[in-house]
Structure 1
């Protein structure tokens, strides 16, 4: 099996945010949660628990964002 980009999910104090996702994205999140559970040996995470780590990973690997953030001094 291919190694997924996300690892085990951190248990962190959340900030409530409400978003609407297309049904296809929700289905993909459910499928990703199942694949992650199979890879890590744990129970499947709720799809909403995947959104923050995925966004964090996306932003961490976006070179243009990192460059712009460094330019702003953040």
Structure 2
């Protein structure tokens, strides 16, 4: 079994953000969604749904970002621990 960083996608009220992905990144995203579906037995549907939890996971494991948040840099309070990031 493949150990992916994402496990499942939670449903939450979204904030609309629009951006372009390089074609290579989109192909990798589609491949990731296919592997995730195979490993979890649940279809992701639109692979774009993976982007928010991937970004969330990235920020949750970025030590420099976490230190800056903890130190109160940029005036932003620490993120709540009740977020939907998965291992």
- TM-score range (shorter-chain normalised) is over 0.9
Give the structure 2 partner of residue 9 of structure 1.
Answer: 9
Runs of 4+ in structure 1 off by over 2 angstroms are: none
RMSD: 1.1
State the TM-score, normalized to the length of structure 1.
0.94
State the TM-score, normalized to the length of structure 2.
0.80
Unpaired runs of 5+ residues, structure 1, are none
Unpaired runs of 5+ residues, structure 2, are 78-87
Give the structure 1 partner of residue 52 of structure 2.
Answer: 52
| Residue-pair matches, total | 74
Give the structure 1 partner of residue 43 of structure 2.
Answer: 43
